[in-house]
Amino acid sequence: MNKIPTPLTAYEPGESSQYDDMVAKMLASYQNFGGLNHSESLNLPSKHAIGEICEKLLQLLFPGFHDSDVVYGASLADLTSRRLTDVIARLEDQVRKSVRVGNAKRPTGKTKPIIQKFCKALHLVREVLVTDIEAAYNNDPSARSHEEIILSYPFIEAISIQRLAHRLYRAGAPMIPRMMTEWAHGRTGIDIHPGASIGSHFFIDHGTGVVIGETCKIGNHCKIFHGVTLGARTFVKDGAGHVIKGLKRHPNLGDNVTIYPNSTILGGETTIGSNTTIGANVFLMHSIPSDTLVIYEEKSLSIVTKQNRVAAELDWSI
């Protein structure tokens, strides 16, 4: 029989605890301002569990690349079956908790359809990831092999998890897709919202500091560098001053767009046309037509030898 939790108001200080007063205040804070799970039997989704699920999904996508032991072809069918069964059970548990947030006891019937849609798309996710690996190999002269890219490029981990999370996002799973991409964000420094729609042959070079917002739509064969932000320009509010959810806030990129480091492109009405190149450190809040080069011209750059610089400094001091 499950133990019935003691009500917070019935807390009795222990005789030997020196922290009774602090514990009582923390319990009062939980009751007054939230912080407890909805019930002990129906916990909130677990960040730790989501991290483990992400690891197991990467094993499914790239067998042998995320394993300590050798994966043999003869055992691959059995291994894949066991892994798929395990990850589905784990994910189903977490999705069920997420759909019950706010109404913990009433079954919703949403979990099974969400999981089924997700599982049917797993092989499709892997197919498009192959194009991302090809894009990295073809666009990075330092890449020596596809194996090197899978094993060492942080963007592959980030885009793999995002493409998986995007499928869950489209299937209607609340909360879990965002937890997955934030797990990848913490590991790679690349922040891609699960709602972003990203075409094939996508490549993020280096990757640190990249931000891609929820309503971004990115075409095929696009390449961006570290520090690029595809963000929102403004947040529309209703009459009561609350931010309106669900509006188009982030830019669109056509096909074959390249964006160099530390550029920022903002706004849901902003579209970067196909075959356009955005240079480094550019700030844009309006659309750019196709087949365009956008750069900042060089300003006030001085190049002098160190010897001439010393002489100039002496002249200034006279």
Is residue 57 within 8 Å of residue 51, measured between CB atoms?
A: no
What pLDDT does residue 1 have? 41
What DSSP line would sit under the chain, residue for residue?
A: -PPPPPPGGG----SS-TTHHHHHHHHHHHHHH--S-S-SSSPPPPHHHHHHHHHHHHHHHSTTTS-SS---GGGHHHHHHHHHHHHHHHHHHHHHHHHTTT-SSS--S-HHHHHHHHHHTHHHHHHHHHHHHHHHHHH-TT---HHHHHHH-HHHHHHHHHHHHHHHHHHT--SHHHHHHHHHHHHHS-EE-TT-EE-SS-EEES-TT-EE-TT-EE-SS-EEETT-EEE-S---B-TTSPBPTT---S-EE-TT-EE-TT-EEE-TT-EE-TT-EE-TT-EE-S-B-SS-EE-PPP-S-----HHHHHHHHHHHH-
What pLDDT does residue 41 have? 53
Pairing assessment for the beta strands 258-259 and 277-278 based on DSSP bridges: parallel
Q: Examine the domain organization and report whether 157 and 279 are in the same domain.
A: no
**191: in domain:** no
Which residues partner with 300 through β-bridges?
none
Q: Examine the domain organization and report whether 258 and 317 are in the same domain.
A: yes
* Rounded Cα–Cα distance for residues 266 and 252 (Å): 10
Q: Examine the domain organization and report whether 123 and 159 are in the same domain.
A: yes
Q: Examine the domain organization and report whether 122 and 234 are in the same domain.
A: no
**71: in domain:** yes
**242: in domain:** yes
Is residue 140 within 8 Å of residue 148, measured between CB atoms?
A: no
**42: in domain:** no
Q: Examine the domain organization and report whether 179 and 218 are in the same domain.
A: no
Q: Examine the domain organization and report whether 237 and 315 are in the same domain.
A: yes
Q: Examine the domain organization and report whether 202 and 182 are in the same domain.
A: no
Last residue of a domain, one of 186, 214, 231: 186
Q: Examine the domain organization and report whether 163 and 203 are in the same domain.
A: no
What pLDDT does residue 37 have? 63
**41: in domain:** no
CATH number of residue 147's parent domain? 1.10.3130.10
Instruction: Give how many domains the chain has, as a whole number.
Output: 3
Q: Examine the domain organization and report whether 131 and 17 are in the same domain.
A: no
Q: Examine the domain organization and report whether 116 and 216 are in the same domain.
A: no
Domain span holding position 25 = 1-36
Provide block-wise average pLDDT over 10 residues at a time, the chain (318 residues).
45 63 84 67 85 96 86 87 95 93 74 95 96 98 96 97 98 96 98 98 97 98 98 89 92 98 98 97 97 87 74 58
CATH number of residue 219's parent domain? 2.160.10.10
What pLDDT does residue 8 have? 45
**210: in domain:** yes
Which residues, other chains included, contact 47 with Cβ-Cβ below 8 Å and sequence gap of 6+? 179, 183
What pLDDT does residue 38 have? 55
**164: in domain:** yes
What pLDDT does residue 231 have? 97
In the block, tokens 């570290």 appear at 226
What DSSP line would sit under 16-52, residue for residue?
A: S-TTHHHHHHHHHHHHHH--S-S-SSSPPPPHHHHHH
**91: in domain:** yes
Q: How buried is 149 (Cβ within 10 angstroms: 0-12 exposed, 13-18 middle, 19+ buried)?
A: buried
Last residue of a domain, one of 117, 152, 186: 186
What pLDDT does residue 6 have? 46
Q: What is the pTM of this model?
A: 0.86
Q: Examine the domain organization and report whether 284 and 161 are in the same domain.
A: no
Q: Examine the domain organization and report whether 134 and 258 are in the same domain.
A: no
